[in-house]
C-alpha cells in the first residue's frame, strides 16, 4: 500500500460479516481466510490496472472485462492495499478464471465469487448498511462511556473512579503516570512488563516540554504503539480490578496509547488494551479532559483560598486580613463595560485577564481583581478602566480609580484607560516634561493657548490667527512628542502648570 494512501474515515466492517449475508450469496474461493480482514469501502472498476484509483481497504468489484494478465492485475490490487476482490459471474465469464484463483492464492488476496443474481449495487448497499449499523453501535458505545466517565468524575474518589471506568470501557488497563514516570494510580488488567516499558517510552514522548533525553521541545498530545505480547502463560483475569489496584498480567494488552494531560504537572494517561476500536480515541479524549481538570494544581488551591477569604469576611475580618488568602498582592482593579450580553461574558473577561475574582453585576459594569503583575491589555468588545496597583487597605481607592478610568475611556471612545498617579511638579520636573517641545516654539505656544482656552479649536485658531486644522495638527504633534493623553484632565492640568513654570 502506498505510504500516502489512507483509508477514509468510515467505520470498517469485517469481511466475514459481508460473507455471512445469505441474501448476497457471496462465496470466498481463494486467498487467506482472515477473520480480521476489514472492508472500508466498495469500489467497482473494469480498468485493466485499477491501482491509481484505489485508496486502500476496498472491496474491489469487477466482471473482468479487461482482464488480460491475472497475475499482474492481482499484484497491483495487493500493492494498492485493497482488502478483497469480488469477481462477478456473467456477462463476461461463466466461471471465475482458474489463473485468477491461482494469482489470488499466490498473492494472498481474498477472492469472492459474486453470483449472477447479485448486482454490484446490492453488494455496495449491503456494505453501507453494515457500516451504518457499525457506526450506530459505536456511537452508542461512546455515549455510554462518556456518561460513565462523567458519573465517575463526580464521585468522592474521582481520579481512581475515572481510571476504573476507562479500564472497564476499553477492557484493558489505565494508569496515571507522574512527571518522573511513576505510576500514581491505575486500574484494570495490568499489562506485561514489555507493555509497561512501552507505555513509559510513550509517556516520555508526549510529556510536555521534554524528550526522552530531557531536552526542551514541543510535544504531541498523544501517541500510540503496539508491542509484541509476552508468552501466553502470563495471561490473567479478564475482570477489571478495583480502583487503584492492579490485577495479574495479561498477555493480550499489546495496544498502547499515551495522552498528555493539560496543566503544568506533566502528567500522562497511559492505556493498554487488547484491541483498538474506532471510538476508543474519543473515549480516551473525554477521560483526558476530566483528568486534566481533576489534577490541575490551581483548581483546588485557588477555590479553597477564595472560599476561606469569603468566610472570614462574612465573620467580620477586614480586607487586609483576608486578602493574603488570595495572593501576596498588590492588586489591580479593572472595571469593564460592554461584552456580548451573554451570561458568561463576565467570566470570559476574567479568564482573558487571568483572574477568577470577578464581580459581574457592579453598577452596570464588570469588576475584576487581579495581581498587579498581570499585564492588562485591551479586550475585544470591552471598554476597560484600570487602577494603579494597590495593597489590601487601598483597594477601595483603587476601585474608585478604575471607575473614573472606565468613565474616561467611554467618554473618549478608547478601549482602555489607566489611572495615572499625579505628583507635585517642581520647576526642574516641569522643564523635563516639556523638553520634547523645546525645539519648536510654535508648538509650545499653540499648546499654551489651547490649554488656556479649555481645548477649543476655534477659539485657539482665532487667538493665534491660524487655521483651525493647523491647531489640530499642532496639538496632535504635541501629543505624539510628549507621549501624553491630552484628553486626560490630569494631564492637561500638569502640562498647564509645567508651561506656567517653564
For position 46, what pLDDT does the model report?
93
The whole model's pTM is what?
0.47
* pLDDT per position as a tens digit, 76-114: 999 999 999 999 998 899 999 999 999 999 999 999 999
Question: Which residues, 6+ apart, have CB-to-CB distance to 396 below 8 Å?
Answer: none
Residue 314, classified by CB atoms within 10 Å of its CB into exposed (0-12), middle (13-18) or buried (19+), is exposed
Rg (CA), the chain: 36
Sign of torsion over alpha carbons 482, 483, 485, 491: negative
CA–CA separation, 376 and 355 (whole Å): 11
Half-sphere exposure of 160 (CA within 13 A, CB side): 11
Return the number of other C-beta atoms located less than 10 Å from residue 30's C-beta.
Answer: 23
**3 state DSSP class of 292:** helix
For position 362, what pLDDT does the model report?
62
β pairing state of 331-338 and 358-362: unpaired
CA–CA separation, 243 and 186 (whole Å): 7
Q: Supply the DSSP symbol for 330.
A: -
Which parts of the chain register pLDDT below 50?
Answer: 1-8, 211-220, 228-251, 298-301
For position 423, what pLDDT does the model report?
53
Treating both helix axes as pointing N-terminal to C-terminal, what angle do 280-295 and 120-153 enclose, rounded to 10 degrees? 20
For position 431, what pLDDT does the model report?
65
CA-based nearest residue to 363, from 429, 407, 306: 407
Q: Where are the alpha helices (DSSP H) in 55-117?
A: 70-80, 98-107
* Total residues found in the chain within this entry: 502
Give yes or no for a contact between 205 and 258, defined as CB atoms under 8 angstroms apart. Answer: yes
User: Is the bond into 91 cis (omega within 30 degrees of 0)?
Assistant: yes
Amino acid at each position: 500500500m502506498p505510504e500516502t494512501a489512507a483509508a477514509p474515515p468510515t467505520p470498517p466492517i469485517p469481511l466475514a460479516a459481508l460473507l455471512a449475508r445469505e441474501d448476497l450469496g457471496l462465496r470466498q474461493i481463494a486467498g487467506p481466510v482472515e477473520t480480521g480482514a476489514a472492508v472500508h469501502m466498495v469500489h467497482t472498476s473494469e480498468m485493466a490496472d485499477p491501482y491509481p484509483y484505489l485508496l486502500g481497504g476496498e472491496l474491489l468489484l469487477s466482471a473482468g472485462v479487461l482482464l488480460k494478465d491475472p497475475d499482474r492485475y492481482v499484484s497491483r490490487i495487493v500493492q494498492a492495499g485493497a482488502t478483497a476482490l469480488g469477481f462477478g459471474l456473467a456477462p463476461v465469464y461463466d466461471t471465475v478464471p482458474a489463473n485468477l484463483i491461482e494469482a489470488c492464492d499466490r498473492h494472498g488476496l481474498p477472492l469472492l465469487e459474486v453470483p449472477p443474481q447479485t448486482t454490484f449495487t446490492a453488494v455496495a448497499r449491503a456494505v453501507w448498511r453494515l457500516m451504518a449499523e457499525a457506526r450506530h453501535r459505536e456511537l452508542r458505545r461512546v455515549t455510554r462511556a462518556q456518561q460513565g466517565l462523567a458519573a465517575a468524575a463526580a464521585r468522592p474518589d474521582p481520579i481512581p473512579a475515572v481510571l476504573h471506568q476507562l479500564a472497564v470501557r476499553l477492557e484493558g488497563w489505565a494508569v496515571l503516570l507522574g512527571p518522573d514516570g511513576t505510576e500514581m494510580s491505575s486500574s484494570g488488567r495490568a499489562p506485561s512488563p514489555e507493555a509497561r516499558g512501552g507505555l513509559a517510552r510513550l509517556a516520555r514522548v508526549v510529556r510536555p516540554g521534554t524528550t526522552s533525553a530531557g531536552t526542551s521541545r514541543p510535544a504531541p498530545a498523544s501517541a500510540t504503539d503496539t508491542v509484541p505480547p509476552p508468552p501466553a502463560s502470563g495471561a490473567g483475569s479478564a475482570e477489571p480490578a478495583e480502583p487503584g489496584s492492579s490485577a495479574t498480567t495479561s498477555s493480550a494488552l499489546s495496544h498502547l496509547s499515551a495522552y498528555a494531560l493539560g496543566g503544568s504537572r506533566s502528567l500522562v494517561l497511559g492505556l493498554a488494551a487488547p484491541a483498538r476500536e474506532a471510538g476508543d480515541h474519543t473515549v480516551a479524549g473525554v477521560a483526558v479532559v476530566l483528568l486534566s481538570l481533576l489534577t490541575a494544581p490551581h483548581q483546588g488551591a485557588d477555590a479553597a483560598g477564595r472560599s476561606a477569604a469569603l468566610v472570614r469576611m462574612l465573620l467580620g475580618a477586614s480586607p487586609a486580613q483576608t486578602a493574603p488568602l488570595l495572593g501576596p498582592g498588590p492588586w489591580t482593579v479593572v472595571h469593564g463595560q460592554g461584552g456580548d450580553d451573554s451570561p458568561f461574558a463576565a467570566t470570559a473577561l476574567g479568564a482573558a485577564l487571568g483572574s477568577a475574582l470577578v464581580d459581574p453585576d457592579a453598577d452596570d459594569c464588570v469588576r475584576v481583581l487581579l495581581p498587579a503583575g498581570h499585564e492588562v491589555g485591551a479586550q475585544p468588545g470591552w471598554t476597560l478602566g484600570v487602577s494603579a496597583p494597590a495593597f489590601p487597605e487601598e483597594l477601595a481607592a483603587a476601585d474608585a480609580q478604575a471607575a473614573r478610568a472606565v468613565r474616561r475611556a467611554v467618554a473618549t471612545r478608547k478601549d482602555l484607560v489607566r489611572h495615572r498617579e499625579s505628583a507635585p511638579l517642581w520647576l526642574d520636573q516641569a522643564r523635563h516634561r516639556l523638553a520634547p517641545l523645546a525645539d519648536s516654539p510654535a508648538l509650545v505656544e499653540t499648546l499654551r493657548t489651547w490649554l488656556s482656552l479649555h481645548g477649543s479649536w476655534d477659539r485657539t485658531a482665532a487667538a493665534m490667527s491660524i487655521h483651525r486644522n493647523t491647531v489640530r495638527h499642532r496639538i496632535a504633534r504635541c501629543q505624539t512628542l510628549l507621549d501624553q493623553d491630552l484628553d486626560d484632565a490630569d494631564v492637561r492640568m500638569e502640562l498647564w502648570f509645567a508651561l506656567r513654570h517653564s
